[in-house]
Amino acid sequence: MSDVITVNASGLSCPQPVMMTKKALADLTSGRVEVLVDTATSRNNVLRFAQNKGWRVSTEERDGGYKVILEK
Amino acid sequence: MDKILTSKHGPWLAGGFIGLIAVALANLGNPGNMGFCVACFTRDIAGALGFHRAGVVQYIRPEIPGFILGSFLSSLIFREYSPRGGSSPAVRFGLGLFAMLGALVFLGCPWRAYLRVAGGDWNALYGVGGLIVGVFIGILFLWNGFSLGAAEKNPKGAGLIMPLIAIALLAFLFLAPTFGENGPIFFSTSGPGSQHAPALIALAAGLIVGWLAQRSRFCTVGAIRDFLMMGDGHLLKGIIAFTLVAFAGNYALGKFNPGFEGQPVAHTNELWNFLGMVLSGLAFTLAGGCPGRQLIMAGEGDSDAGIFVIGMLAGAAVAHNFAAASSGAGIGPMGIHVTVIGLIFCAFVGICFRDRG
């Protein structure tokens, strides 16, 4: 199983969570990336961005926020 | 309904509806092309509280507490109430202050910039142009690693500050108390501050918009930012729908008056209409969203957004007390100075806050 890349975007203002996700996905053709965010807005923004790039997406609630899981 | 509002179609549906409400409010008594103006309304509230003494712009605009409370209730109902804070609050105060100063040089926040265009006020095209340039400068800072740092989760009660301030403002509006001889609460008897839709209707409109914007993430600055940065046009459709519906409403009601001269609460100085909004657009982008969005986030419990709003309130007081606010006659004696100082402040913030956190 390949390594999981974790992006911690908790607490950051728009549009930084999406920018960090974009950077993490830039050189990846496959794998699993977990993005940590603390608001539903950031969660939805990351989901929409990754979906548009062809990644499978799912989310888990975690203490004080969400874990957005991106897989390809 | 909520599924649609939170989908990618949410912003344009919300934007269109908000545009319609804006036309209705202007028709019901708000000043021309001012169905909504977060900057002007916050300025009027600052005046009503006596933070400035410009007698023609003093009124507790219920739309503003309506936005906060609409968002607060919506975030509670949909389990998105999330008290947080601690991301460079003093800097956010400064950004709010200068965003307001820039907006009052232009005479409108981004919401009103679009509404002015929708009413045929072509001076606002310079403002919208300035807004786009300001957002783009903010994007350059973001690309270079700009960040105000991470906010942290706060106790549940911490998010109640702004909703409680909103309730206090509504109490001041409806009870109209007087604090001391010749003291506030002040209500304009002439000028833009005296022009307003019936308070309960304006409050209802604010609550509805607070809910719509909380669910759809409608943002008049994020719209430009996301489109320029990432080619993501879903928020942009929100402001296009907002402007088009407002235009259609104005046209249908005979309120579309194209031209530069004699526009309501506007001046014709192209350069400072442009540069005022460059400052505003940049400050909003560095703070992560337009003034409406800041109110919505404040309602959700984001105390950093709350501090930004308080900064705007202070900015309104500075604008009028220090002769920096424009009027229909033109820019204020200190309008140029505060705009230049604000641009230097934003550049300083943009450069200093890199790669932190």
pLDDT by residue (tens digit) across B279-293? 999 999 999 999 999
Percent of chain B with pLDDT over 70: 99
**Pairing relationship of beta strands A56-62 and A65-71 according to DSSP bridges:** antiparallel
- In this prediction, residues B241-248 reach a mean pLDDT of 98
Q: Is the pLDDT assigned to residue B152 strictly greater than 60?
A: yes
Q: Is the pLDDT assigned to residue B356 strictly greater than 60?
A: no
- Tell me which of B143, B226, B307 to substitute to probe the interface with A (most A C-beta atoms closer than 10 Å): B226
Buried b (16+ CB within 10 A) or exposed e, B89-101: bebbbbbbbbbbb
Q: Provide the 3-class DSSP secondary structure of residue A56.
A: strand
The burial of B310, by beta-carbon neighbours within 10 Å (0-12 exposed, 13-18 middle, 19 or more buried), is given as buried
pLDDT of residue A64: 78
| End-to-end Cα separation, chain B, in angstroms | 38
Rounded CA gap, B326 and B336, in Å? 10
Q: Which of B82, B87, B230 sits opposite A39 (nearest CB)?
A: B82
Say yes or no: A70 contacts chain B, CB-CB below 8 A: no
Residues B99, B287 contacting (CB under 8 angstroms): yes
Tokens found for residue B134:
């300001």
Contact call for B288 and A14, based on CB within 8 A? yes
- Tell me which of A10, A21, A22, A41 to substitute to probe the interface with B (most B C-beta atoms closer than 10 Å): A41
Local confidence band at B203 (pLDDT 50, 70, 90 cut-offs): very high
More confident residue, B41 or A28: B41
- Tell me which of B82, B88, B237, B302 to substitute to probe the interface with A (most A C-beta atoms closer than 10 Å): B82
Rounded CA gap, B320 and B311, in Å? 14
Contact call for B148 and A19, based on CB within 8 A? no
Say yes or no: B222 contacts chain A, CB-CB below 8 A: yes
Looking at residue A28, the DSSP 8-state letter turns out to be -
Q: Which residue of A has its CA nearest to B80?
A: A40
∠ CA B267-B272-B273, rounded to 5°: 55
Rounded CA gap, B172 and B230, in Å? 44
Contact call for B230 and A14, based on CB within 8 A? no
Say yes or no: B229 contacts chain A, CB-CB below 8 A: yes
Q: Which residues in A lie closer than 8 A to residue B294 (C-beta atoms)?
A: none
Rounded CA gap, B334 and A65, in Å? 45
What is the DSSP track for B252-283? Answer: HTT----BSTT-TT----HHHHHHHHHHHHHH
Rounded CA gap, B87 and B151, in Å? 5
Q: Which residues in A lie closer than 8 A to residue B84 (C-beta atoms)?
A: 11, 38-39
Q: Which of A11, A16, A18 sits opposite B152 (nearest CB)?
A: A11
Report the DSSP beta bridge partners of residue A6: A34
Contact call for A12 and B150, based on CB within 8 A? yes
pLDDT by residue (tens digit) across B6-18? 999 999 999 999 9
Say yes or no: B11 contacts chain A, CB-CB below 8 A: no
Local confidence band at B357 (pLDDT 50, 70, 90 cut-offs): very low
Q: Which residues in B lie closer than 8 A to residue A48 (C-beta atoms)?
A: 8, 232, 234
- In this prediction, residues A15-37 reach a mean pLDDT of 94
- In this prediction, residues B162-182 reach a mean pLDDT of 96
Say yes or no: A71 contacts chain B, CB-CB below 8 A: no
Local confidence band at B40 (pLDDT 50, 70, 90 cut-offs): very high
Say yes or no: A46 contacts chain B, CB-CB below 8 A: no
Alpha carbon of B70: minimum distance to chain A alpha carbons (Å): 17
Contact call for B153 and A38, based on CB within 8 A? yes
Q: Is the pLDDT assigned to residue A41 strictly greater than 80?
A: yes
Say yes or no: A23 contacts chain B, CB-CB below 8 A: no
CATH number, domain with residue A26: 3.30.110.40
- In this prediction, residues B111-134 reach a mean pLDDT of 98
Say yes or no: A38 contacts chain B, CB-CB below 8 A: yes
Rounded CA gap, B16 and B2, in Å? 16
How many distinct structural domains can be found in chain A? 1
Mean pLDDT of chain B: 97
- In this prediction, residues B103-122 reach a mean pLDDT of 98
Q: Which of B230, B232, B288 sits opposite A13 (nearest CB)?
A: B288
Mean pLDDT of chain A: 92
Report the DSSP beta bridge partners of residue A32: A4, A71
Q: Which of B6, B80, B147 sits opposite A16 (nearest CB)?
A: B147
pLDDT of residue A63: 81
pLDDT of residue B1: 86
Provide the domain limits for residue A50. 4-71
pLDDT of residue A2: 65
Q: Which single residue is written with the structure tokens 């100075």?
A: B337
Q: Which residues in A lie closer than 8 A to residue B225 (C-beta atoms)?
A: 14-15
Rounded CA gap, B126 and B278, in Å? 10
On the question of a cis peptide bond just before residue B331, with omega within 30 degrees of 0, the verdict is no
Residues B161, B168 contacting (CB under 8 angstroms): no
Contact call for A38 and B226, based on CB within 8 A? no
